[in-house]
Amino acid sequence: MKFKKLRHRAFQLKRAFANLLQLGDSLDLLRANQGLILSRLNETSISKKLVDHEFRVFSQNGEDGILQKLVKSIEIKNKTFIEFGVEDFFESNLRFLMIKDNWSGFVIDGSMQNMNKLKDSSFYWKHQLESECAFITKDNINELLSKSEFDEDIGVLSIDIDGNDYYVLEAITRVKPRILVCEYNAVFGPTRKITVPYRPDFVRTRAHYSNLFFGASLAAVTHIANKKGYSLVGVNSACCNAFFIRNDVLNNKFEVLNSEQAFLESKARESRDIAGGLTFLSGSKRYEIIKGLDVVNVESNSIEQL
């Protein structure tokens, strides 16, 4: 009798899980269809400001809308993308582009659990998407990118690893995306060209208890992007992602900006206390808590203090 009850309970749980998966697919379809409508409306806007094109489908903020506008505004030879630091890719910058426009993708994350969850999703087999589990460093990034087997002239590259973003971007030679998206740390301000010191095992949550010491300033990311032949065309309104276009495909549909012109004050309040609890610091109070820590000036390659 107990065995029959257990078997029945297991069957109920299995059916409930299947229903949840089906519900998740239905919600994704609804969101994708809403995104399609927003994309059509977005195409009618002639604004050169990226924030005017924001909308969110699967991205964390308004990156979906910005990328839709960018890929429709410049010539894209290969509809391929690479994104790393994606976690399980359920929330990401490029998932909507893959689903709506049938782009091919390659994603990298350091968690095997995240990659397994991705492979269990319905959109993984429905689309040309490949994944790799790896902790990214400046020394292994090109080897990892080679596993995509994409032509170097990819459509979009999105970098978000909450740490060595500057050094990894600097090291990349395997691909030359037409559109580059790179996370930056707005707490570092608009003008100083600085990044955290390089550590191959850098983890944001261990670098400083505040969770605010990571990545590079917008000026630093713009500095290395300019050296690689890219122009800054704006940032998202959440003030965490910068967008660049390769100079050979750049046109007059967007304004070329420097870091001061593009910079917006971030309103995110993600600071932590020593115990890991949110402290909700905003404005200059976020800077004060990490003031005095060592950073690298990327122009002079020298150590400075915040």
Name all domains of the chain by residue range, CATH numbers in brackets. 47-305 (3.40.50.150)
Residue 16's alpha-carbon distances to 12, 13, 27, 29, in angstroms, are 6, 5, 16, 20
Write out the chain's pLDDT in tens, 306 residues.
Answer: 555 554 545 444 445 444 434 445 667 777 777 777 777 878 888 899 999 999 999 999 999 999 999 999 999 999 999 999 999 999 999 999 999 999 999 999 999 999 999 999 989 999 999 999 999 999 999 999 999 999 999 999 999 999 999 999 999 999 999 999 999 999 999 999 999 999 999 999 999 999 999 999 999 999 999 999 999 999 999 999 999 999 999 999 999 999 999 999 899 999 999 999 999 999 999 999 999 999 999 999 999 999
- pLDDT at position 2: 54
The order of strands in the sheet holding 294-297 is 194-195, 294-297, 302-305
pLDDT at residue 23, rounded to an integer = 40
Rounded Cα distance, 87 and 299, in Å: 32
* Residue 248 burial by Cβ neighbours in a 10 Å radius (0-12, 13-18, 19+): exposed
pLDDT at 26: 62
Please answer whether residues 205 and 274 qualify as being in contact, where contact means their C-beta atoms are separated by less than 8 angstroms: no
For residue 87, the model assigns a pLDDT of: 93
